[in-house]
Structure 1
């Protein structure tokens, strides 16, 4: 076991330790410039997904809005409540600015990876779609790169399909125990039962659940934060001033100054919005849309919701309170919880517990689909799929009832580092394809087409499943 710890620790150091975060930042900046600042050009268009016709023509497929809420449900989690607090504690208020910065470039990264996932998606026998970085590699780069796709898929299953559900189960059970005194066996059983009901229903049931859970949890949390902001409206300009001053070293809240702010802001921002990690494209590929770029724009909006809106709400709740003391050693979720209690009263600790429950549950069902999709890359066995579902429900329950059990899943972060590097490598190799698809979308918009339609026959050299784009006009 010590040997395995050493191996995975080394992998983690080689990825998250020094290479991956700079790579993600540089790649995001490159994508932003190379696409003509696409996330800003189509910013207003992102909001279209929240209104209008969001009914799929096929009951076995999901809509763009449902795909958005599934991915938001996965992105939004502990990072938005505890992660922001940790970033401020270790990096000072200026870390919030750098979280914003990485989110703005991450919006372009997410647009690229999710658009390419749509280009190379495959229609299944039941009419649904599957896609993501693994299939993007196989059909975009060629069958000779299938080994790279399998490496990605195995890393995705280990990190998101097995490791993270255990941690989320632990988060739920711990929050319920602390707030309500609920026995971990009870909360673990309830969580496992709810997870089983959703995951055995497939992507359609996951999408329907997320379409309800995510708006409720996000809007309620945002509403509570807005109440805090309104009650302290006179102090809001000073809070923003502190963020900017600390971000550029004019004020120093913690040791390390501007360097600590940048490091913590970038790291926590990337963990929160997941742009470039290759997770969201697996869900983005399932949506029925007219053009790949349309879903890319929608998923770019997902990053905006996660970091620019929800993380900012958490940051202001903390910075507008007297609970935050620069440099103080306090647990992340406790800092957020205590700040809310100071603003609105002790009842908010129960609300925050409920929010954590919903955030964690939506993340678990999101993580399940990522694992399922990865499994289908190298196995079509129904027995293997059933076994994975049982294992996921089991590790969720185990993580909930045995606090120390989550230490077994020490491989999650290193595996996530590997899949992120594989995903970014594939994106760089396929970027010329993305440029062609984006040019097609831009040309249709300039010609006055309100809702551009993707015609795969314009790209005869690409291995595209034409049946996935039939009758989209």
Structure 2
């Protein structure tokens, strides 16, 4: 089974997908006139401001919901894996995919806002790739094919977010706690399930509230402490930067043979971490209450920077500045060691959290394992919660109007009952992941991420135009000194039914016009 999963993963993560991710980022950057650079001040302003209503969450809450999905084990174990199998240069390619991916994130998240809808059961805003893939071209001859495409994406996302990816997070969390404190993985699984059940059963609002409190706290604490250690090794920074760039382009003879691995692992782990193009960000973006879709597109573009340029970079510099790393030949820990950092890693240390744990130990001897265990507990918990929200959103999409049908002899609707089944399945996935080995869990997670990225990036290349119309309209209104309000009809954006019936000035649905008798 392990070999079969590895073969499937190699097929999904063929180098074509790597080039597709990078190429799409370049294309979207040029088309948007590098929105990820021009609009950074506006991104920060919008991040701290936001409208909300009983149906939606604020821009900041949507940002933290998105970050909850992005910031997870990939920011610690993922960075360590990229360095181990791709060399220090993999960190450069993580930066590259983040910079280019910010434009990709803007496009997908703006589309998520434009084509969002109201949940037929709860009245909350829902949206994501399945919604825009099946809706945006419904006035054209491609309507039928795109609707099927949307359903395929929803099914793949339900599988990935409901079953494949949660196990990766719980596995890393359980392993870190077992290593740090000797906790039984079963006890970690039970504790995680209890906390998750309390949060996810509370719905979107409770998820957003939980994320808005936990995510900023955990990210700031982690970055600050990592930077303290990096600054303690400030003399090493010039050499580290030189090593990253020489390794990224094969200039360093020791890494020349693995330059392809540096690109592959940098892009692979970069997307796993920041999720730009994967199609996860639009789910959180659609939940926000804003007066113009471009607002949330800009906020979500900045989320990519927070995840990779801040948090992943903090981990990378922590590992490299302390020398707590090994680089292996053949993209496997069974391969020969190409370079040993500072010879401080314990013999036989597994690739993953142990790199960061050893790095933190240089500041607090013996405390590194505990700090990483606590960090992963926060990171992984919020990520699993975000996964559940996205799985539920796609379940609602697949059910459509059937979600509101009452089930005979069973209390509740089809939607509420299937939601309970999904909640049970994701809790089972978390339990199995916590007590399993890491290899298959990571492979399954990579397969889920890759399948979503293939479907979503191709989709937004087809559907990109409304996102640019929204951006130019937003910038035009800002130049006029206005608080931008979105009207899809004047912009000739078709099938944005929510916005056609919504008044952004009042935050309410438009009142139907009546003809005098």
Q: Fold match, TM over 0.5?
A: yes
Distance in 2, matches of 1:70 and 1:408, equals 23
Counterpart of 2:489 (choices 449, 457, 468) is 457
In the TM superposition, what are the counterparts of 1:48-447 in structure 2 within 5 Å?
Answer: 48-51=45-48, 53-54=49-50, 56=52, 58-125=53-120, 126-142=122-138, 143-144=143-144, 145-254=146-255, 256-326=257-327, 327=338, 328=340, 330-379=350-399, 380=403, 381=414, 382-400=416-434, 402-404=435-437, 407=440, 411-447=444-480
| Partners of 2:167 and 2:441 within 8 A in 1 | no
Distance in 2, matches of 1:54 and 1:434, equals 20
Distance in 1, matches of 2:156 and 2:442, equals 13
- TM superposition shift of 1:458: 1.3
Shifted more, 12-21 versus 189-198: the winner is: 12-21
- TM superposition shift of 1:331: 1.1
Give 3-state SS (helix, strand or coil) of 2:13's partner. Answer: helix
Distance in 1, matches of 2:14 and 2:71, equals 24
- TM superposition shift of 1:453: 1.5
| Partners of 1:5 and 1:410 within 8 A in 2 | no
- TM superposition shift of 1:308: 0.5
Deviations 1:376-428 (A, max 9, x none): 1111222111111111112212322x325984896543343332222112211
365 and 377 in structure 1: CA distance in 2 versus 1, 3 angstrom threshold:
same
- TM superposition shift of 1:325: 4.5
Distance in 2, matches of 1:198 and 1:320, equals 38
Shifted more, 156-165 versus 123-132: the winner is: 123-132
Distance in 1, matches of 2:236 and 2:442, equals 43
312 and 468 in structure 1: CA distance in 2 versus 1, 3 angstrom threshold:
farther
Shifted more, 121-130 versus 33-42: the winner is: 121-130
Shifted more, 139-148 versus 385-394: the winner is: 139-148
| Partners of 2:98 and 2:270 within 8 A in 1 | yes
| Partners of 2:119 and 2:396 within 8 A in 1 | no
Q: Which runs of 5+ in 1 are unaligned?
A: none
Distance in 2, matches of 1:349 and 1:231, equals 19
Distance in 1, matches of 2:450 and 2:236, equals 39
Distance in 2, matches of 1:310 and 1:289, equals 27
- TM superposition shift of 1:124: 3.3
Q: TM-score, normalised by structure 2?
A: 0.85
Distance in 2, matches of 1:41 and 1:316, equals 27
| Partners of 1:454 and 1:469 within 8 A in 2 | no
* Residue in structure 1 matched with residue 513 of structure 2 by the alignment: none
252 and 408 in structure 1: CA distance in 2 versus 1, 3 angstrom threshold:
closer
Q: Confirm whether residue 43 of structure 1 aligns to residue 75 of structure 2.
A: no
Give 3-state SS (helix, strand or coil) of 1:344's partner. Answer: coil
Deviations 1:29-58 (A, max 9, x none): 10001111111110111111443x4452x2
362 and 252 in structure 1: CA distance in 2 versus 1, 3 angstrom threshold:
farther
Deviations 1:334-355 (A, max 9, x none): 1111111123322122011100
Shifted more, 103-112 versus 462-471: the winner is: 462-471
| Partners of 1:99 and 1:268 within 8 A in 2 | yes
- TM superposition shift of 1:248: 2.8
227 and 181 in structure 1: CA distance in 2 versus 1, 3 angstrom threshold:
same
Larger radius of gyration: 2
- TM superposition shift of 1:68: 0.5
* Residue in structure 2 matched with residue 472 of structure 1 by the alignment: 505
| Partners of 1:90 and 1:254 within 8 A in 2 | no
Q: Which runs of 5+ in 2 are unaligned?
A: 328-337, 341-347, 404-413, 507-517
How many positions carry a matched residue from both structures? 466
Q: Confirm whether residue 30 of structure 1 aligns to residue 30 of structure 2.
A: no
- TM superposition shift of 1:432: 1.8
Give 3-state SS (helix, strand or coil) of 1:458's partner. Answer: coil
- TM superposition shift of 1:469: 3.6
- TM superposition shift of 1:249: 2.9
- TM superposition shift of 1:247: 2.3
232 and 366 in structure 1: CA distance in 2 versus 1, 3 angstrom threshold:
same
- TM superposition shift of 1:84: 1.2
- TM superposition shift of 1:64: 0.7
| Partners of 1:129 and 1:468 within 8 A in 2 | no
22 and 335 in structure 1: CA distance in 2 versus 1, 3 angstrom threshold:
same
- TM superposition shift of 1:132: 0.4
Deviations 1:346-369 (A, max 9, x none): 212201110011111011101001
| Partners of 2:46 and 2:295 within 8 A in 1 | no
Distance in 1, matches of 2:113 and 2:325, equals 43
